[in-house]
């Protein structure tokens, strides 16, 4: 039996006859979770997930890619009307589950036009199923982590006085692709100096100067699965304050690691880190959650924060990324991807974290 289907249906709060996953112009990662398809866009295609089987409704354009995907049956359409006719027959049931977090209102209206079934949002069941990774998923993420770990080491040789943020970001992307990434898993964050105080900065035309922070946050996507890493350096000689902030964040991450374990609440790990940072002179400068789940998406459904009711389980993969941000001065974030095992964690991103003056 398809173990992914078993997990999804095991998490349902209300029974459905089938789950309908529409892969629109914005991809629904649940389509790729179910099918394991590593190539193809599958725009306008759909997956019909039954309790014990998976059927695909795909365009002729995607037929060859679909042949490589996991499925029990495949329906090919050439025109939209053909797709509509197929779905009318297949969706003639009582209750249909949908991913309400991703299905557009337009797609929902079209769905209501071709079926009289009760529509039930099963997005929570889908997210919970994806949270606990299977062996093949772990290996794909591990390889994506290896790529960014290597890039972290090699990128140092490109960090020179006068380089611009967007130039260094381009080198990061090139190195990831050269090492086997399909693409970056999100828009690179490459920030110099005071720009490092903005957690979700991207990359501008700021020129690197001596004494600047260099904060690099990036990830690689490989075979659909992603990694996410952050390292912070100082270009040339660092101030005592820069070193102090770095050491505080590094200690905070260790506290995070100690609290990310099977049976613990994810929010407790965040609280432990936040309490530590707030006990220092940098109180209130840790401004985001401790981490988030990764998988087919960078933010794969859950975060390590008290507002999220989550008990940690074996084979979940989360980032652990404390940070301290000082407006108009700069900031430090250190981020690693960790696999939760039965009695410990495995840090999947291996790049060194000792304080580095470049």
CATH number at residue 64: 3.40.350.10
Same domain for 216 and 253?
A: yes
Question: Does residue 121 fall inside a structural domain?
Answer: yes
Tell me, what DSSP letter sits at residue 265? Answer: B
Question: Does residue 95 fall inside a structural domain?
Answer: yes
Same domain for 109 and 139?
A: no
Model-level pTM? 0.96
Taking only the tens place, the pLDDT of each residue in 124-180 is 999 999 999 999 999 999 999 999 999 999 999 999 999 999 999 999 999 999 999
Structurally, the chain folds into a number of domains equal to 2
Same domain for 220 and 186?
A: yes
Question: Does residue 50 fall inside a structural domain?
Answer: yes
Same domain for 198 and 253?
A: yes
Nearest residue to 13 via CA among 126, 89, 142: 126
Question: Does residue 353 fall inside a structural domain?
Answer: no
Same domain for 114 and 191?
A: no
Taking only the tens place, the pLDDT of each residue in 209-259 is 999 999 999 999 999 999 999 999 999 999 999 999 999 999 999 999 999
Separation of alpha carbons 318 and 350, rounded Å: 15
Nearest residue to 250 via CA among 153, 347, 336: 336
Q: Which of 94, 111, 130 is the last residue of a domain?
A: 130
Same domain for 155 and 55?
A: no
Same domain for 258 and 337?
A: yes
Q: Is 345 helix (H, G, I), strand (E, B) or coil?
A: strand
**pLDDT reported for residue 146:** 98
Domain containing residue 7: 3-130
How would you class 343 by CB atoms within 10 Å of its CB: exposed for 0-12, middle for 13-18, buried for 19 or more? exposed
Q: Which of 102, 130, 158 is the last residue of a domain?
A: 130
Q: Is 144 helix (H, G, I), strand (E, B) or coil?
A: helix
């Amino acid at each position: 039996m398809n173990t992914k289907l078993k997990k999804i249906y095991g998490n349902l709060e209300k029974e459905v006859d089938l789950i309908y996953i529409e892969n629109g112009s914005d991809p629904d990662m649940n389509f790729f979770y179910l099918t394991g398809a590593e190539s193809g866009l599958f725009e306008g295609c759909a997956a019909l997930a039954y309790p014990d089987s998976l059927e695909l409704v795909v365009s002729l354009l995607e037929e060859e890619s679909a042949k490589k995907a996991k499925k029990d049956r495949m329906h090919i359409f050439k025109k939209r009307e053909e797709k509509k006719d197929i779905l009318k027959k297949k969706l003639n049931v009582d209750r249909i589950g949908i991913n309400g977090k991703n299905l557009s209102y337009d797609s929902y209206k079209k769905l209501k036009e071709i079926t009289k079934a009760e529509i039930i949002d099963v997005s929570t069941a889908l997210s919970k199923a994806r949270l606990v990774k299977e062996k093949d998923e772990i290996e794909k993420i591990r390889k994506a982590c290896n790529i960014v770990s290597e890039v972290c080491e090699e990128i140092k040789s490109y960090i020179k006085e006068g380089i611009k943020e967007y130039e260094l970001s381009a080198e990061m992307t090139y190195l990831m692709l050269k090492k086997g990434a399909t693409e970056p898993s999100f828009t690179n964050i490459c920030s110099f100096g005071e720009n490092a105080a903005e957690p979700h900065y991207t990359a501008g035309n700021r020129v690197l100067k001596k004494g600047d922070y260099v904060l690099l946050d990036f990830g690689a996507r490989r075979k659909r699965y992603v990694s996410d890493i952050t390292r912070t350096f100082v270009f040339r000689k660092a101030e005592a304050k820069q070193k102090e902030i770095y050491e505080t964040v590094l200690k905070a991450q260790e506290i995070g690691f100690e609290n990310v374990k099977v049976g613990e609440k994810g929010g407790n790990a965040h609280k432990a880190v936040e309490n530590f940072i707030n006990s220092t002179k940098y109180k209130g400068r840790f401004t985001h959650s401790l981490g988030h789940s990764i998988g087919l998406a960078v933010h794969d459904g859950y975060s390590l924060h008290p507002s999220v009711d989550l008990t940690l389980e074996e084979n979940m993969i989360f980032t652990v990324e404390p940070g301290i941000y000082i407006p108009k001065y700069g900031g430090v974030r250190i981020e690693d991807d960790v696999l939760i095992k039965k009695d410990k964690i495995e840090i999947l991103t291996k790049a060194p974290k000792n304080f580095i003056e470049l």
